[in-house]
Structure 1
Amino acid sequence: MTLDVTAPARPRTMRLRADASRNRERIVNAACEAIVEYGPDVPLDEVARRAGVGNATLYRHFSDRGELIRQVALAVMRRITQRAEALAEEPDPFGALERFVFQAAEERVGALCPMVSDTFDGHDPEVAQATESLQRATTALMTRAQDAGQLRTDVAVGDLMVALTQLTRPLPGVCAIGFDRFVQRHLQLFLDGLRAPARSTLEGTAATLEDLKGCHK
């Protein structure tokens, strides 16, 4: 009988891949927190320290700062999309939209927005796919609320994202830590303004994510 001497290698390979995947996830999460706190120029040594990995491990996964920032932004977009999709069948459409807004705010999209606009390549297929998925999931939440007569009909996903990013962005000279107490109040004020029946007439047309892309060109 011939023994297969390569058989034990498969579990070890799987463990190594799992470890690498966990390290990568830890680095991305640590980078997100550090960038929100210190900005995109945070030392990568600090990111590695927060992730609990060595510098060599960080550079093995991310060749440079730009690629790390790109992956942070993509991870945030995907998590926000997942949050929207998870709320798609909630019985109260406007309540689901409210929960989505506050959950998205937890991802610090306002603090990350300037970094994203400076780093992202709009022609990047991965970026395009993440953007499309986010728009589709968010639009579905808004459409349900509009169909239920709970959300004013003269707004679109771009309007929501503009408000979300602006209201969760720390003011110049204001520390990002502790800023959440203002964010919650202002987001609730914004959401109250979205309810139907509308108490005002908005100028212009509803904004889409495509409209927002044009602002960065």
Structure 2
Amino acid sequence: MRADAQRNYDRIVTAAADAIAHDGADASLEDIARRAGVGSATLHRHFPNRAALLEAVFHERIENVCGRARELTAGDDPYAALLAWLRELGAYVTTTRGLAASLLDGPHHSDACTVMLTSAGEELLLRAAAAGKVRADVSMTDLVTLVNAISLATEHSGPGETQRLLALALEGITPPGA
């Protein structure tokens, strides 16, 4: 990418992050372009649709959440590590306005972010399942969808409500008698 194109890209992502923090994932693309000091055509040249822009805004943050999954994999209790990561994911998604909606937005959802999260948590899930602490029919896709759905439902209630509902839901992933 040329230097001027990279600067425009960076300015658009920064302006989008600010707009999304204030207005949510449905922030006006025209307003984002204006905040970035570029024209609408420049924004659309870099980001052909809203999903691509959201993915760019959330990508680095999602990488940090994924890094946390890798850190937790080193722990001694695989079930506690999985639950800790899912709670952290829930808190993060709840406090990042628009992320849950973008991850759950049907056919236009953020595939790359969802794949990153699913891949990052997979080792945690496999270790917890191998320890007999998670039902065999539970997938990481199920868990990421569950966390995102709860986060979306509680986005305006705050992280406390997210954690309460997440704890309630996660009781259902353990096999009977575990």
TM superposition score normalised by structure 1: 0.58
Segments ≥4 residues shifted beyond 6 Å: 18-22, 58-61
Query: What letter matches 2:123 in structure 1?
Result: A
Where does 1:1-217 land on structure 2 (aligned, <5 Å)? 23=11, 26-34=14-22, 36=24, 39-40=25-26, 42-44=27-29, 54-56=35-37, 62-63=43-44, 66=50, 67-105=52-90, 106-108=92-94, 109-115=99-105, 117-120=106-109, 127=112, 131-170=114-153, 176-195=155-174, 197-198=175-176
Query: What letter matches 1:183 in structure 2?
Result: T
Q: Which has the higher helix share?
A: 2
TM superposition score normalised by structure 2: 0.68
Q: How far apart are 1:47 and its partner, in Å?
A: 5.4
If you compute each CA radius of gyration, which structure gives the higher value, 1 or 2?
1
Deviation string, structure 1 residues 12-54 (Cα, Å, up to 9, x no partner)? x9xx9x9888756643533442454xx42x2347658xxxx94
Q: How far apart are 1:160 and its partner, in Å?
A: 0.7
State the aligned residue count: 167
SS in 2 for 1:169: helix
Contact 1:167 1:187 in 2 (8 A): yes
Relative to structure 1, the CA distance from residue 70 to residue 137 in structure 2 (aligned partners, 3 Å threshold; closer, same or farther) is closer
SS in 2 for 1:138: helix
Deviation string, structure 1 residues 97-141 (Cα, Å, up to 9, x no partner)? 1121122111244333344x353586xxxx3xx554433321100
Query: C-alpha root-mean-square deviation of aligned residues, in Å?
Result: 3.7
Contact 2:65 2:89 in 1 (8 A): yes
If asked which structure has higher relative contact order (CA below 8 Å, sep 6+), I would say 2
Relative to structure 1, the CA distance from residue 120 to residue 194 in structure 2 (aligned partners, 3 Å threshold; closer, same or farther) is closer
Runs of 5+ unmatched residues, structure 1: 1-12, 200-217
Relative to structure 1, the CA distance from residue 104 to residue 35 in structure 2 (aligned partners, 3 Å threshold; closer, same or farther) is farther
